[in-house]
A and B are shown apart, each in its own frame.
Chain A
Amino acid sequence: MKATSRILDFAFGWLRPGFIAWMGLVAIAAPAADIKPAVDPQADELLRRMSDYLGQEPFFSVSVEVWQDVRLGSGQQVQAGRTVDLQVRRPDRFHSEVHSTRRNRGMYYDGKSITLLDRVQNFYGSIPAPATLDEALDVACERFGITLPLEDIIVSDPYQNAMRKITSGILLGPVTVLGAPCEHLAFSLGKVDWQIWIEQGARPVPRKIVITYKDEEGSPEYTAIFSNWDFETKLSDFLFKFEAPAGSTKITVAEIKGKNEAHRNGGK
């Protein structure tokens, strides 16, 4: 018995330090997905505050100037600009107007359908949509390839939406955006980085967002600068109800044929 005990002591005595070292190395080599995202608590708090503010407002409208990198065939990178006017009434109304030099289009969501209007060509088309904004923008993107402008700020919980897949987040400190004192936050999803400038004070709204697509050649950026936030003016039903303009023609809305990765599958 004592002999057996001595053998076991000897064996475990030799194996224990090796086992501990091995476990330590396994921990070092563990996949990144198992590691909790490194998000600065202050950055987390500021993002959550903005999200609570936007999510709890029953309606709002805002104007956005968007600048987007476009890569030409030669490899040269240029920027394309446009303005977006958004009107949101939770939980089931949305209207946007996108204007650029050669494009002019509207998008309406009334709780039952999403209608696209090409004001230049005078074409419109509708798709059936679920009863809430969150579901509607997922159907629009995943089935029809339609990304609702600035959808990350119109979802019911912008914080949960933004924190999916996040790998890091830092607070870079105070910065002024178009005269408005803001806090500058930077987050990473690994292949995509994004930054947000949140207004300081009692109205923590986003003033600027930059998304950098590091997985695309040239790492193109999408920049959105927000102005004219309005949480006071009531938004009536007719603003979200599509009325076909005179002489307009209804056309088909193409459904994406390829297999999409639904955003839900990529979540935590």
Chain B
Amino acid sequence: MTMKTSKVTSVRNIGVGVLALLASLPLIYAQRSQQAGRGESVSRSEPAREPVERAPAFVDRADHGSIRHVDTNVRQRPVSVSRDFGAQRQVIVHRDVDADVNIRRAGSEFAFGARRHRLGAGYARLLVNNQPYYYDDGIYYQQEGDDYQEVYPPVGADIPQVPDGAVEIDAGNLTYYYAGGAFYAEQDGGFVVAPTPIGVIVPELPPGVVQVSFNGGVAYQFNGIYYQPIFVNGVTQYTTVLPR
């Protein structure tokens, strides 16, 4: 009788244990899902879906080098580095303020009015507002006699790829690519020179700026726009303002 009771108890314990395990599976699954960042449960009755490849996360920290403030100013957003800017195009997306990397920037040698007798092999002929222009490696030209004269980037000029070394600039909901003093906006698969947005911050001055007095301090003039120095995240950057 005792052995029989013991057997019954064992079978009963195993049976109830298995039932409890089955009952707990949803709880464990939900926990694992949360840890994996999925958050939502998936109904089994839904049809199978193709896996979606998400853009990798980009963490916009003020700077590296701190454990204490590892979560300060952290902003997750899609990264655009997978975009095809051409084999040799470098678009700067990293925002570490102290990282000092010397990257070639197309257009950085621009000097307004400078003349060249010959353009590079990869130049392009453009028509902007019915005016002929030439574009070569981040710099715009107009013909002057037998020479090509460097001119400010004409608003509306359309090029297929952003210049090498362009810097990605956030301006609210818009993204610009900043190179050689021009702000390029993506349009119809190409990149168009946009009017300089006012109030945006750029990490470097355009090439060939002229220092001017402004509001009791200094600013730098390029193509009718002032670039006023400001410390952002502890390093000097420049905000675009209209001259008064």
A82 to B71, CA, bound (A): 24
A123 to B230, CA, bound (A): 9
For B125, the chain A residues whose CB sits under 8 A away are none
Among residues 217 to 238 in chain B, which have CB atoms less than 8 Å away from a CB atom of chain A? 217-218, 228-236
Q: A29-B27, A118-B235, A189-B70 are in contact. Are A71 and B94 (CB under 8 A)?
A: yes
Q: A98-B98, A251-B231, A261-B71 are in contact. Are A147 and B62 (CB under 8 A)?
A: yes
| A107 proximal to B (CB < 8 A) | yes
Number of A-B contacts (CB under 8 A): 212
| A170 proximal to B (CB < 8 A) | no
Q: Is the CB of B23 within 8 A of A22?
A: yes
A250 to B81, CA, bound (A): 36
| B90 proximal to A (CB < 8 A) | yes
**Minimum CB–CB distance for B197 against chain A, Å:** 17
| B42 proximal to A (CB < 8 A) | no
Q: Is the CB of A100 within 8 A of B230?
A: no
Q: Is the CB of A29 within 8 A of B96?
A: no
**Minimum CB–CB distance for B69 against chain A, Å:** 4
From A30, A68, A103, A254, B231 is in contact (CB under 8 Å) with A254
| A39 proximal to B (CB < 8 A) | no
| A216 proximal to B (CB < 8 A) | yes
A72 to B12, CA, bound (A): 64
Q: Is the CB of A100 within 8 A of B98?
A: yes
Tell which of A12-20, A171-179, A236-244 binds the partner. A12-20
Mask, B1-36, CB within 8 Å of A = 1, is: 000000001001100110111011001100110010
Q: A145-B62, A220-B64 are in contact. Are A18 and B16 (CB under 8 A)?
A: yes
Residue ID in chain B nearest A261 by CB atoms: B71
| B91 proximal to A (CB < 8 A) | yes
| B75 proximal to A (CB < 8 A) | yes
Interface size on A, residues (CB 8 A): 80
For A26, the chain B residues whose CB sits under 8 A away are 24, 27
For A138, the chain B residues whose CB sits under 8 A away are 68-69
| B212 proximal to A (CB < 8 A) | no
| A150 proximal to B (CB < 8 A) | yes
Tell which of A51-59, A73-81, A86-94 binds the partner. A73-81
A151 to B31, CA, bound (A): 36
**Minimum CB–CB distance for A16 against chain B, Å:** 8
Q: Is the CB of A75 within 8 A of B99?
A: no
Mask, A123-166, CB within 8 Å of B = 1, is: 10100000000000110111011110111100100000110100
| B79 proximal to A (CB < 8 A) | yes
| B189 proximal to A (CB < 8 A) | no
Q: Is the CB of A217 within 8 A of B58?
A: yes
**Minimum CB–CB distance for B60 against chain A, Å:** 9
For A141, the chain B residues whose CB sits under 8 A away are 62, 66, 68-69, 72-73
Residue ID in chain B nearest A194 by CB atoms: B67
| B100 proximal to A (CB < 8 A) | yes
For B99, the chain A residues whose CB sits under 8 A away are 68, 70, 80
Q: Is the CB of B100 within 8 A of A263?
A: no
| A246 proximal to B (CB < 8 A) | no
| B123 proximal to A (CB < 8 A) | no
**Minimum CB–CB distance for A65 against chain B, Å:** 13
For A266, the chain B residues whose CB sits under 8 A away are 71
For B70, the chain A residues whose CB sits under 8 A away are 189, 192
From B20, B68, B93, B232, A73 is in contact (CB under 8 Å) with B93
Q: Is the CB of B98 within 8 A of A22?
A: no
Give the A-binding residues of B (Cβ under 8 A): 9, 12-13, 16-17, 19-21, 23-24, 27-28, 31-32, 35, 56-59, 61-75, 79, 81-82, 85, 89-94, 96, 98-103, 168, 201, 217-218, 228-236
Task: List 30 A-B pairs, Cβ < 8 Å.
Answer: A18-B16, A22-B23, A29-B24, A29-B27, A31-B35, A70-B94, A72-B101, A73-B85, A75-B82, A82-B100, A98-B98, A105-B234, A116-B234, A123-B229, A123-B231, A144-B231, A145-B72, A145-B232, A146-B233, A147-B69, A213-B64, A217-B57, A217-B79, A220-B64, A249-B218, A252-B231, A253-B230, A254-B231, A258-B75, A261-B74
> Which A-B residue pairs are the 6 nearest by beta carbons?
A73-B91, A146-B234, A100-B100, A145-B233, A145-B62, A18-B16
